[in-house]
Amino acid sequence: MSEPVVERGVVQGRRLVPPRWVWIACTVGVVVGLGGLAVGFVGPSPVDAWLWLVIWFLLFGGFAYGILLWSAAFRVAQVRWTPVVSRLGHAGIAFVPVALLILIVLLAGIRAYVPWTAHTVPEKEAWLNVPFMALRQLVLVGLLSALCYLMVRWSLTADAKTREGGGLAQRDHYRLNAVSVAIVITYAITFSVVAYDFVMSLSPEWFSTMFAPYIWVTNMYAGLAVLILLGAALRGPLAVVKYLEPDQFRDLGNLMLGFSLFSMGLFFAQYLTIWYGNVPEETFFLIERYLKGPWPPLGWTAFVLGYAIPFLLLQSRALKQRPRLLSIVAVLALIGIALERYVLVVPSVKPDDLALSPVSALSGLAFFGAFILSIVVFLMFYQPVSSAQEALREMDSAEEGAI
């Protein structure tokens, strides 16, 4: 184990030293997953491989940008209790290059799995065309990634200043606040467009003004679940138990409770609006997934696992203060969200096939392994406590002392 990093006489945690089995398991997962994806592309149904790639991009890309967004949101709100939670969110930046690479692959192969490339929709052709889709995706996701990089870099710069014995200037706080505000705004725009292009456009006749907010809000909900799991699993190895006590997990659980309700509210708002309008161009998307045919059992299972059960369980204060129990709820939520992404994507292209190729599904192991490795590598190199967030708490203490 590495020695704790001490700054100004305060233990700031220690960098992560992962056990060997983590490297082996994640590497095996990446290799097996890439092998399964390769077999899927050359197999009898390559479209299955493409759809799995879309699903994993939406899911794990949502995780990475979701936890980064929470770091920015905590900064915007000037939250005082998140110096470790924010740093765990910063670790998502290590997965961003993987997400960008998969985005480029998906854009390069777009004609293999997106229906409107073969059967154009004249009234939407100005939006649904390959060059414009590639341009807006690369610009928006690239911009969001650059802003997230700046946030993480400036936060790590603040750590370096603290290690050298200096304090943080107002300029350090101002630029972190500014880039965090920019991230929050850019995130909403970017994932609205991602939702339009990689989910809604697979059924090009369908439209819903509520769908884009639903996608990026549920990404935020998933991001909270990921942060809870990371905090519960790593607070011991990172020596940050004093920063992640039952009260902090209760606060994370309360946020997750709120976002489970918010997500269900958006789901119902979209359903109610479409039901009330009763326009065929809008209703078929929900009917196919939640009312008729082979998909409703899967659709409602995703809803119950991802949102309803967590909402009920998170009513318990005692549960939210116990990291292990809260982690179980977080896992349930992530399983439900993963299943929901599957239900949102697949019926648009293969409405009669409940199950895609299981060989191509192994690609999920590659994404999971790469995501874990990226988090691990980041926390190996950087301390687990954000000095910039810690400074906010110290400012509060100084103000209280002055009073």
How far CA 55 is from CA of 35, 70, 287, 361, in Å, comes to: 17, 22, 21, 10
- What pLDDT is stored for residue 166 in this prediction? 65
Give the pLDDT band (50/70/90) at residue 7: very low
- What pLDDT is stored for residue 5 in this prediction? 41
Indicate if the alpha-carbon torsion angle 73, 65, 228, 266 is positive or negative: positive
- What pLDDT is stored for residue 323 in this prediction? 95
Distance CA 315, CA 189 (A): 32
The average pLDDT across 160-186 equals 84
- What pLDDT is stored for residue 207 in this prediction? 84
Query: What is the residue type of 336?
Result: G
- What pLDDT is stored for residue 329 in this prediction? 97
Q: Which helix (H) or strand (E) holds 278?
A: none
Burial label for 2, CB within 10 Å (0-12, 13-18, 19+), is exposed
Are the CB atoms for 312 and 331 separated by under 8 Å?
no
- What pLDDT is stored for residue 243 in this prediction? 92
Place of tokens 């989910």: 199
The average pLDDT across 306-323 equals 96
Distance CA 347, CA 302 (A): 15
- What pLDDT is stored for residue 395 in this prediction? 56
Domain limits of the chain? 7-387
Are the CB atoms for 329 and 319 separated by under 8 Å?
yes
Quote the tokens at residue 16.
Answer: 């992560």
The average pLDDT across 380-384 equals 92
Q: 240: Cβ–Cβ under 8 A, 6 or more apart, which residues? A: 13, 84, 234, 384, 385
- What pLDDT is stored for residue 321 in this prediction? 96
- What pLDDT is stored for residue 1 in this prediction? 36
Over 50: is that where the pLDDT of 403 sits? no
Are the CB atoms for 107 and 138 separated by under 8 Å?
yes
- What pLDDT is stored for residue 332 in this prediction? 97
Question: Over the stretch 255-286, which tens digit does the pLDDT of each residue have?
Answer: 999 999 999 999 998 888 888 877 777 888 98
Quote the tokens at residue 181.
Answer: 């505000």
Question: Over the stretch 42-60, which tens digit does the pLDDT of each residue have?
Answer: 988 899 999 999 999 999 9
The average pLDDT across 230-250 equals 94
Give the pLDDT band (50/70/90) at residue 394: low
Query: What is the residue type of 391?
Result: A
Query: What is the residue type of 233?
Result: A
Query: What is the residue type of 122?
Result: P
How high is the mean pLDDT of the chain?
90
pTM: 0.92
Percent of the chain with pLDDT over 70: 93
Q: 266: Cβ–Cβ under 8 A, 6 or more apart, which residues? A: 210, 213, 214, 217
Over 80: is that where the pLDDT of 193 sits? yes
The average pLDDT across 180-199 equals 96
